[in-house]
């Protein structure tokens, strides 16, 4: 039994329904994305003081002074990325690992990188315990992408750069899509969708967002 006197499984089901309702009401309507988000328990990716708020539609603090993004923003970014079952995806900014876990249910393989060794280790342990065997988590400065694994069908950046990093544009397949926040770290940023065409790149501005900055080099944790 939980504090409110309801059996734990009833509150869990109700919590999940509210979580999915919030996603839908904020524009996450793609069935595959909703199913993936229903299957990945955000509660596993938030630790300590904030764990009880894991099912609310808000960003929360994680280790290394970083944040796990707001679920509706995760949903909208995943939806814009339009991941296909055979895709190889690169995520820059592993953070808690939540976004990578969702991508792993939609793609063939997910590479996720973070500049903080500790976040990569903790996320990697979670992926293993959840049986998400198609995610490769690595410590790296993601602004250079992963040249050895490139090109990618999809690239998702979850930290804001002033402009789309050149190496990431270069590592996108023709026909591929990259979704990323761009803008100054202390101002409102724009979520951008970049599609690589045979002749160049097409840019579409999706919505205002706020992300932690994409920082050069590796972190000290």
Interface region with ligand SAH, contact rule CB under 6 A, candidates 12-20, 22-30, 31-39, 112-120: 112-120
Cα-to-chain-centroid distance, residue 83: 13
Q: Does residue 158 interact with ligand SAH by CB under 6 A?
A: yes
Interface region with ligand SAH, contact rule CB under 6 A, candidates 46-54, 127-135, 137-145, 187-195: 137-145
- Alpha carbon separation from 24 to 21, 35, 150 (Å, rounded): 5, 12, 33
Catalytic residue list: 69
Task: Pick one of 109, 115, 154, 196: the residue that binds ligand SAH (CB under 6 A).
Answer: 115
Q: Does residue 67 interact with ligand SAH by CB under 6 A?
A: yes
**Torsion on CA atoms 11, 17, 22, 23, rounded to nearest 10:** 130
Task: Pick one of 19, 98, 111, 127: the residue that binds ligand SAH (CB under 6 A).
Answer: 98
Q: Does residue 69 interact with ligand SAH by CB under 6 A?
A: yes
Q: Which two tokens stand for residue 71?
A: 């679920």
Task: Pick one of 36, 120, 192, 214: the residue that binds ligand SAH (CB under 6 A).
Answer: 214
Long-range contacts of range 162-166, CB-CB < 8 Å, 24 or more positions apart? 164/192, 164/194, 165/214
Closest CA to 202 of 193, 189, 211: 193
Q: Does residue 78 interact with ligand SAH by CB under 6 A?
A: no
Nearest-angstrom CA–CA distance, 170 and 149: 12
Q: Are 137 and 124 in contact (CB under 8 A)?
A: yes
Task: Pick one of 71, 75, 93, 164: the residue that binds ligand SAH (CB under 6 A).
Answer: 93
Cβ-based nearer residue to ligand SAH, 142 or 176: 142
Residues that bind ligand SAH (CB under 6 A): 66-69, 92-93, 95-96, 98-99, 113-116, 119, 141-143, 158-159, 212, 214-215
């Amino acid at each position: 039994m939980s504090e409110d006197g309801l059996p734990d499984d009833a509150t869990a089901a109700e919590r999940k329904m509210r979580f999915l309702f919030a996603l839908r009401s904020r524009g996450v309507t793609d069935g595959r994305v909703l199913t993936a988000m229903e299957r990945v328990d955000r509660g596993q990716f938030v630790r300590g003081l904030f764990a009880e708020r894991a099912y609310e539609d808000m960003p929360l603090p994680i280790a290394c002074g970083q944040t796990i993004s707001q679920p509706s923003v995760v949903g909208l970014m995943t939806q814009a990325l339009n991941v296909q079952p055979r895709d190889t995806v690169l995520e820059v900014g592993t953070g808690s690992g939540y976004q990578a876990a969702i991508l792993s249910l939609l793609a063939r393989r997910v590479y996720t990188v973070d500049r903080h060794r500790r976040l990569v280790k903790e996320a990697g342990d979670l992926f293993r315990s959840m049986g998400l065997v198609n995610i490769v988590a690595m410590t790296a400065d993601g602004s250079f992408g992963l040249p050895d694994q490139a090109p990618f069908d999809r690239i998702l950046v979850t930290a804001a750069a002033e402009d789309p990093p050149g190496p990431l544009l270069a590592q996108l397949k023709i026909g591929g899509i990259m979704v990323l926040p761009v803008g100054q770290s202390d101002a409102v940023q724009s979520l951008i969708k970049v599609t690589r065409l045979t002749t160049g790149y097409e840019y579409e501005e999706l919505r205002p967002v706020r992300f932690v900055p994409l920082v050069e080099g590796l972190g000290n944790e």
